[in-house]
A and B are shown apart, each in its own frame.
Chain A
């Protein structure tokens, strides 16, 4: 048995080890802590690539925690799933790779960004704990484990959002996020209870195998969708998002973006892999589409009027999440009908998954750029900035790439995924793609505003001594820039080799169940 069988568990073990070993290593001084945290996150990135490779060649990986088989055979001969499993298919592993990229970028950026503050040891510990929670959310194949990782990710992000604890705003943002995510977590727990009470099962694949669409399941689905839409910042409960994203240190915000996407991965797992074709009727897909449309429109219209750079980007996150919700809703709408699925359903799923990945990369980069602006100017108010392009050539270059990608300007990756979403949503109703297009235009408008006010214009005399940010911060931003350029330059290869298998794996409920249960239960 080769070591690569243990890759899914290592993906969780390495960041957890990092979280608890960093405070000890940090006793050796700043250099030791720097080397150690970069080492841990680089190892994690390499492991995630190995996992992607393993899944691509060997098929879906199922890892059973603390046992050989996922089930327990009772004396009566009945096999019963008792173990906690991690299940990794092409969808999970792809998102995990991007999450690890974002985590590495955040670590590199945070090395110098937080230099002026104390409490860096606990910061690194919480940072790796948040990484572990995020990866757990993405990789798990067990309902209750999903809840546990959700809480691990939430608790560590409460601490990180309140990192600048002398600022009243950070504490307030952290408290707001805490309320929202506690309500969401309790709803998830209730939903898990409903499913457990019905089937006595917690294994996602096993539940998916036997699920009917009765009243208890409907209640569970409603709770799950509400809770996870709250966690990923969809429209009616989006208030925490701009606050938390703006008040957290920029290196943390990158990871918060990934965590919100991890909740969305969980939502997809529940909707497609557990329920899937069991969902009867058009109510659930249309609910997702409506949530998506409202998030898109209201998010972007709030963003246009903002004057604070990180709040502006936070509102854009709301509107970007809307794109994915709409894409998955359209995919779910086409689910029952093979012809519709071939017509526009698969395109929509591909667009949703690709947009998710793109969103993590360019939004992460944008938040890092905002952090860099804050680092050199000491303010986040756009009206006080100006003429920074000459002073910070690298940052400006990377900002332009990220802004072009988020606005969907060809040839960047945002364009490819948005085009897939436009195409497929047009087949359902033209109004959907009209809203998406208008959102895209307003996004472009607001980023032109940021570019013009912060980077262009006459130099202000209070910034005459401003220099480019330190090398490690540039390196952190460069990691994400390279990913964006890679995704942009080879869109055909990426779509056919990474996105399409991911979409197929997500839609194919039978394969997901079969990978765990094999023949029968």
Chain B
């Protein structure tokens, strides 16, 4: 049970992010929701990568161990973090521009595109 706890946290975080995106009206809160979702996905990858009682996959360092932890998920996570950084920056700049155009951060008032 304890070993599965991180996955429960990941699921909760992902849902929280999704709910924030759907339910919140403030643009910044929506952006935070996206950020929470990204963190959940990253945490999922990190948690997946660990094997119980495993050690780094360098032959000379850890001494006698049977289980090695493959570094692939860490590499994936780093890539995903960089991508998330780029999209968050872009998203925040779009929010700034939206605020300049509409004078509000409320999504209910930013809906010129419809129908």
Contact = CB atoms under 8 A, between A and B. Distances in A.
B79 interface: yes
Interface stretch (A185-193, A318-326, A476-484): A185-193
A20 interface: no
B112 A158 contact: no
Interface in A427-470: none
Interface string A150-165: 0100110011001001
Nearest to B35: A182
A189 B80 contact: yes
Interface size class of B (residues with CB under 8 A): 35 or more
B37 A197 contact: no
A165 B80 contact: no
A279 to B, nearest CB: 24
Contacts of A82: 72
A196 B73 contact: yes
A519 interface: no
Interface stretch (A57-65, A166-174, A493-501, A503-511): A166-174
Interface residues of A, number: 37
B87 A178 contact: yes
A171 B101 contact: yes
A186 B37 contact: yes
Nearest to B43: A193
A186 B45 CA distance: 12
Given A174-B94, A179-B21, A186 B72 contact: no
A162 B37 contact: no
B90 A158 contact: yes
B40, B45, B102, most chain A CB atoms within 10 A: B45
B87 to A, nearest CB: 6
Interface in A189-222: 189-190, 192-193, 196-197, 200, 202
A280 interface: no
Contacts of A147: 80
Contact of A186 (B41, B90, B91, B115): B41
A171 B38 contact: no
B90 A196 contact: no
B83 A172 contact: no
A338 B41 CA distance: 40
A361 B48 CA distance: 42
B18 interface: yes
B94 A178 contact: yes
A3 to B, nearest CB: 30
B5 interface: no
A243 B83 contact: no
A318 B40 CA distance: 31
B115 to A, nearest CB: 8
Contacts of B95: 175
Interface string B45-84: 1001000000000000000000000101100100110010
A185 to B, nearest CB: 8
B70 A155 contact: no
Contact of A159 (B17, B83, B90, B110): B90
A172 B80 contact: no
B14, B27, B73, B113, most chain A CB atoms within 10 A: B113
B86 A155 contact: yes
A172 B112 contact: yes
B86 to A, nearest CB: 6
Contacts of B90: 155, 158-159, 178
Interface of A: 82, 144, 147-148, 151, 154-155, 158-159, 162, 165, 168-169, 171-176, 178-179, 182-183, 185-186, 189-190, 192-193, 196-197, 200, 202, 243, 246-247, 306
Interface of B: 14, 17-18, 21, 27, 30, 34, 37-38, 40-41, 44-45, 48, 70, 72-73, 76, 79-80, 83, 86-87, 90-91, 94-95, 97-98, 101-102, 110-113, 115
18 contacts: A148-B83, A154-B87, A169-B113, A171-B98, A172-B113, A175-B91, A175-B98, A178-B90, A179-B34, A182-B37, A185-B83, A190-B14, A193-B44, A193-B48, A196-B72, A196-B73, A200-B72, A246-B113
> Which 4 A-B pairs give the minimum distances between C-beta atoms?
A168-B101, A197-B48, A189-B41, A151-B83
